Amino acid sequence: MSSATELVEISFEGRYTLPEVEILSDTAEEIRRKQERVRALCAERNAILLAHHYQRPEVQEVADAVADSLRLSQTAAKTDADVIVFAGVHFMAETAAIICPDKRVLLPDLRAGCSLAASVTPEELREWKARLPGAVVVSYINTSAAVKAESDYCCTSANAAKVVGAIPADRTVLFLPDQFLASVVARQTRRSNIVAYPGYCHVHKTIQPDQVAGLLSDHPDIELLLHPECGCVSSCMAKAMDGTLPQDRTFFLSTEGMLRHIGESPATEFAVGTELGILHQLGKKYSQKRFYPVNEKAVCAFMKTITLDRVIRSLETLEPQVRVPEEIARKAKRAIDRMLELA
Ligand code: SF4
């Protein structure tokens, strides 16, 4: 893998405003009543509520589907509901709006952005394309619709290697915006012609090798499940290769991949390197197994803006609606369709 900026550390923090994570004090009874209201409104509006794994537990509990970006996109593509409420972040709602142009797509809080998506603009991508004529552009789903419109393929962490593997081996691939996922894909596809854009997710970047090592020393038989966006992936991959980390117990997986892997693994203890919201589904599905977050502070403030109150208000008012300009949607859809074909 190569990177045109490999010696330059770029900071993207100035590009977004992190919302404050509200601590809610609803009682169990209040939560139950709000969830009932959500279900009643969904029925009234012929709406479907789609929730990402990083959402608050009470929102996950009331959703029609809880999944990663890829599966949520597939669910959006198949639904016959009139309204899609996205309990996720802005690029996910945009993707649903592009796939389902005849539906009303709601994002209950427009502050739900994404630091990773903010790290590349369409203007920057056009500059990179001009520097790398002939390169095939693969954009992670965590990008704006305008960036997808400039891309040849879209992918998620669940199918990135498959998408890149489908590109002829002699073509240079410009992979963006996540530099850590790019390094995992380069390793998985054994390609040396992947140029990585230097973006990152501010949450996953804080998941570091020393935290992984600490868990391993406290729990010697633990399996290490690391999201490919994590700041530790390059180092952990190298350590797994040289035997510093147990190669047979170190896995780089999407959130859906983690859920699947745990179900198939005989192990009982897992270090989970991703946003903490996933622990809700893990604990629910595999109550007999034990999960330890690699970084207990890995919380996405953008995801946590979505509350039951905001979902209710959104269903009542049918706002805020996410729309994508037609020309951008048409171009972005090519890249998204290719991703869905290779899912
Ligand atoms: S966890 Fe990171 S990549 Fe995911 S939505 Fe939050 S900021 Fe974006």
Summarised one tens digit per residue, pLDDT across range 47-62 is 999 999 999 999 999 9
Check residue 10 and give its pLDDT.
85
- Tell me: pLDDT of 324 over 90: yes
Query: Is the same domain home to 272 and 209?
Result: yes
CB contact at 8 A, 90 and 73: no
142 domain residue, yes or no = no
Residue to probe by mutation, ligand 1, list 86, 204, 233, most atoms within 8 Å of CB: 204
Q: What is the CATH number of the domain that holds 312?
A: 3.40.50.10800
| Reported confidence tier of residue 7, pLDDT bands at 50, 70, 90 | very low
* Cα 242 to ligand 1 centre (Å): 30
Neighbours of 98 (CB within 10 A): 26
**What does the block give as tokens for 196?**
């990585």
What is residue 2's predicted lDDT score, i.e. its pLDDT?
58
Which residue type sits at 250? T
Q: Ligand 1 pocket test: which of 16, 203, 272, 276 has the largest number of ligand atoms within 8 Å of its C-beta?
A: 203
Pairing of strands 269-273, 223-226: parallel
Q: Looking at the predicted structure, is the pLDDT value of residue 297 above 60?
A: yes
pLDDT for position 272 = 97
Instruction: Say if 128 falls within a structural domain.
Output: no
Q: What pLDDT, in 10s, does the model give residues 199-212?
A: 999 999 999 999 99
pLDDT of residue 158: 87
Beta-sheet pairing, 173-176 with 153-155: unpaired
- Token reading at 24: 């809610």
Residue 86 CB–ligand 1 contact under 6 Å: no
What separation in Å is there between the alpha carbon of 29 and the centre of ligand 1?
31
In the 8-state DSSP scheme, what is residue 99? H
Do residues 43 and 106 share a domain?
A: yes
Residues 271 and 321 in one domain: no
User: What residue's CA is closest to ligand 1, atom 8?
Assistant: 114
Does 223 map to a domain? yes
Say whether both 94 and 44 belong to one domain. yes
Using the mean position of ligand 1's atoms as its centre, give its distance from the Cα of residue 124 in Å.
20
User: DSSP characters for 192-261?
Assistant: S-EEEP-B--TTGGG--HHHHHHHHHHSTTPEEEE-TTSTTHHHHHHHHHHTSS-GGGEEE--HHHHHHH
Check whether residue 220 and residue 266 sit in a common domain. Answer: yes
Average pLDDT of the chain, as a whole number: 95
95 inside domain: yes
Task: For residues 265 and 90, give the distance between their C-alpha atoms in angstroms, rounded to a whole number.
Answer: 34
Q: Tell me the average pLDDT across 169-192.
A: 95
**Residue 206: per-residue pLDDT:** 93
Structure tokens at 82: 């009139």
Instruction: Look at residue 63 and tell me whether its pLDDT is greater than 50.
Output: yes
In a shared domain, residues 74 and 93: yes
Q: Are 238 and 262 in a shared domain?
A: yes
Percent of the chain with pLDDT over 70: 98
Q: Is the pLDDT of residue 9 over 90?
A: no
CA 4 to chain centre: 25
Cα separations in angstroms, 103 against 48, 50, 337:
11, 14, 17
How many domains, in total, are found in the chain?
2
Residue 94 lies in domain: 28-113+303-326
Segment 243-255, tens digit of pLDDT: 889 999 999 999 9
Inside any domain, residue 266: yes
- The rounded distance, in Å, linking the Cα atoms of 148 and 144 is 6
Q: Helix axis angle, 90-99 relative to 326-341, nearest 10°?
A: 90
Looking at residue 5, its pLDDT comes to 44
This prediction has a pTM of: 0.95
Please check whether residue 126 is in contact with residue 111, taking contact to mean a CB–CB distance below 8 angstroms. Answer: no
Domain for residue 45, yes or no? yes
Indicate whether 46 belongs to any domain.
yes
> Between the CA of residue 44 and those of 41, 66, 178, 327, what are the distances in Å?
5, 21, 40, 32
Residue nearest to atom 6 of ligand 1 (CA): 300
If asked whether residues 63 and 92 sit together in one domain, one would say yes
Q: Are residues 309 and 278 in the same domain?
A: no
DSSP state of 276: T
Lowest-pLDDT choice from 42-56, 191-205, 227-241? 227-241
195 lines ligand 1 (CB under 6 A): no
Percent of the chain with pLDDT over 90: 90
- Which residue's alpha carbon is at the smallest distance from atom 1 of ligand 1? 300
Residue 6, pLDDT above cutoff 80: no
pLDDT of 69 above 50? yes
In a domain, 336, yes or no: no
The residue type found at 219 is: H
Distances (CA, A) of 150 to 77, 91, 174, 236: 22, 15, 12, 32
Relative to the CA of 203, which ligand 1 atom is closest? 2
State the pLDDT at residue 234. 84
* 229 and 288 co-located in one domain: yes
pLDDT for 131 beyond 60: yes
Say if residue 263 is in the same domain as residue 289.
yes
> Based on the domain organization, do 317 and 282 belong to the same domain?
no
Q: Find the 201 Cα to ligand 1 centroid distance in Å.
A: 6
pLDDT mean over 229-242: 88
Residue 88 reports pLDDT greater than 90: yes
